[in-house]
Structure 1
Amino acid sequence: MPPYELLYGRRCRTPICWVKVGQKKFGGTEVVLEMNQKIDVIRARLKAAQDRQKWYSEKNRRPIEFQVGNMMKLKVSPWKGVIRFQKRGKFAPWIIGPFKVLARVGEVSYRLELPEELARIHKTFHVSYLCKCLADDSMWVPLNEVTLNNKLEYVEEPITILDEKVKVIRNKRIRTYKVQWRHRKGSECT
């Protein structure tokens, strides 16, 4: 006894062969056409479901494009046991930079201008590893101009008070001042 008949108590009747035991006779063209129509309906419904899911996933997605000359930060992931950017463990940086975009390579990759310390790393990166640096060049303090004391703190001196505000929080008055500072070597910041 076939397993189907043992399980369901009747013989298996496929749409291709509708006759009982004996000489097998294939169904006519009507059965084949009906099956093809059902398969086409199933394919159309699967395509509609896939298109709907694609629309949901791409609804908030926008193409990322950068211009040559933009400043980019590079996302790096800490690899276990690999010291790639001078620190290891939880103190390893997640984003380094900024670096200048030299050229666009393909549709989704860019070549960056990396310093000599990162000469062993390939200079071409996918857009998922890049984020735009929106900082102003005039606000950067070069590291060679900052002097550090023995506690690894940079020394600042106040120059002038630019603005004064009084905030009232509940029944307390708090004075805040905007002060212009000068580092030891002469660069100024607020």
Structure 2
Amino acid sequence: MIQQMTDAVEFIRKRIKAAQDRQASYANTRRIPLYFEVGEHVFLRVSPFRKVMKFGLKGKLSPRFIGPFEIFEKYVADESHILHPTEVQLDQDLSYVQRPLMILDRKDKVLCNKRIPLVMVQWQHRGTEEATWELENRIRAEHPELF
């Protein structure tokens, strides 16, 4: 019985591999690289959802392409713009611990008769736009090296 199951699984894997290869060959033969020159005019494809308001028209009369737009200049990729992801140490449950990098700002939140000190913390593996306001007492207790 185990041999039959193993054979059935192998047969299914071969069929899936053949289907994937067939779909890849269909996609690759229809995929052509597009090259445009400065001064040419192009149309831009609009997503094909129906009954969604796009460019002033709705329903099945909404445009599939918009344009023409003239190409003013060509963009040349610069190798210095490539971002290299940093390694993140994952735990067994595929989570990771975020550590604060630095404190960007401080403020006091004033409630009726109470003052709550807050600090803006920039986290590791995050940009400054994703910094969060945290309680100063908690950050001071957990990460005294930042103060």
Q: Same fold (TM over 0.5)?
A: no
Q: Which has the larger radius of gyration?
A: 1
Return the TM-score normalized by structure 2: 0.32
TM-score normalized with structure 1 length: 0.26
Q: Which has the higher helix share?
A: 2
